[in-house]
Amino acid sequence: MTQLPERYKRGLSKWLDCSPTHLFLYWKGRVALYALLKGMEIGEGDEVIMPAFTCVVVPNAVLYTGAHPVYVDIDPETLNPSFEQIKTAVTDRTRVILCQNTFGLSSDLDRIVSWARERGIVTIEDCTHGFGGSFQGKPNGTWCDAAFFSTQWNKPFSTGLGGFSLVSDEALREKVYQVNRSLQPPAWRESIMLRILITLKERFLSPTTYWKALRAYRWLSRAGLVTGSSSGKELESPAMPEGYFKGMAKAQMREGMKKLRGLEEVLQRRKKNGEIYTRTLEQLGKWAVAPALFPDHAFLKYPVLVRDKEAFRQAAEDQQIELGDWFCSPLHPVDGDLSPWKMEREAYPVASQAAAHILDLPTDENDSLRVARFLEDQSALLLPPNALTV
């Protein structure tokens, strides 16, 4: 009988067109990134390039190693840094370029990866939004030297919390094995708590309960009463919290195998709904994701730009639309001073502007025409196509 981790890896590997032995499992996606950086021996004096439009746990993982995050502003159409913008940020201390898949939209991977390889710079894909999608016919996560993925609540498929990495390079794999020797096993209490939260979400989460449940979960996790995605400490300063470097629990693997079985259908639905939202927004003359740019993106969430976030959010709650608020800050979800993460907002005008106006529509939605009607009703709050041109 094959062990559970091996079976889960085999399931994942089919989607990633890789050997199961190239995969490593963790408690969260951020932990997978940290292990990759340690495996690459990134540290003091090294620079890691990343978008100025990411989750704060990404620069956290870099800062825990002693290296320096170098942020690059985003392109107004793709919400990712362009190849040209990345090139200007490279110095002789650059060791890694992080290519983010944002909402399912790939970076300019072919150009970035081949340019970086010629210069001995390692590329890592932040594929936390991109599992199941592809770029130019190759699965997301397989373009770079390594990639990390997340299976947190809102990611392509969810195990509550969870993450893994794909390491294509053999020498790096050997190093990551060594690094992983110091992984802690999850405490039984945490595993059980996660199992309970997954069950609660399955049983009770619906458009009618979404807003109340979201508020309750955020309040409880901030108060430390349930296992949240981030501890309060991770959002206050870049100091590694206790118990950070943790492996994956069996409950997460079992849930992952279950979710993979239904994923194909979910991906189809996301794609179809993404197309419906783009068409609706284009007809209204509003900012939309241009389909021509990314023919095979996965549309984990669909970004919209609005004039007044609070008014739009209230309207969504009234209409029971499951709206999200990703990237409410260039380093989501930290508002206010970003200097502990070596970022000055003013230096990244497009990312700052996007963060001030962006919200996201659900794409795993059975009734997307209801969402399209909602967009039509709220048209006055939606911003025009040039909204991010600064």
Binding site for ligand PLP (CB under 6 A): 28-30, 54-55, 57-58, 100, 126, 128-129, 150, 152, 163, 229
* 122-125, long-range: CB < 8 A, 24+ apart: 122/40, 122/95, 122/96, 122/97, 122/146, 123/96, 123/97, 123/98, 123/99, 124/33, 124/36, 124/96, 124/97, 124/98, 124/99, 124/148, 125/98, 125/99, 125/100, 125/101
Under 8 Å between Cβ of 23 and 256: no
Q: How far is the CB of 228 from ligand PLP (least distance, A)?
A: 10
Q: How far is the CB of 219 from ligand PLP (least distance, A)?
A: 19
Residue 170 Cβ, how far from ligand PLP at the closest point, in Å?
A: 25
* Cβ closest to ligand PLP, residue 9 vs residue 28: 28
Q: Measured from the CB atom, is 61 or 382 closer to ligand PLP? A: 61
SS3 260: helix
Give me the least distance between CB of 58 and ligand PLP, in Å please: 5
Please identify, using beta-carbon distances, which residue of 126 and 255 lies nearer to ligand PLP: 126
Nearest 5 degrees, angle CA 128-CA 131-CA 177? Answer: 70
For the CB of residue 82, give the shortest distance to ligand PLP in the complex, in Å: 18
CB of 77 to ligand PLP, least distance (A): 18
Q: Which is nearer to ligand PLP, 327 or 374 (CB)?
A: 327
Q: Tell me how far apart the alpha carbons of residues 72 and 76 are, in angstroms, rounded to a whole number.
A: 13
Of the pair 263, 315, the CB lying nearest ligand PLP is at 263
C-alpha–C-alpha distance, residues 329 and 366, integer Å: 29
Neighbouring residues of 326: CB distance < 8 A, sequence distance ≥ 6: 103, 154, 301, 332, 358, 360
Furthest-apart CA pair in the chain: how many Å? 59
CB of 27 or CB of 287, closer to ligand PLP: 27
Residue of 83, 82, 75, 130 lying closest to 102 (CA atoms): 130
Choose between 39 and 162: whose C-beta lies nearer to ligand PLP: 162
Cβ at position 30, least distance to ligand PLP in Å: 3
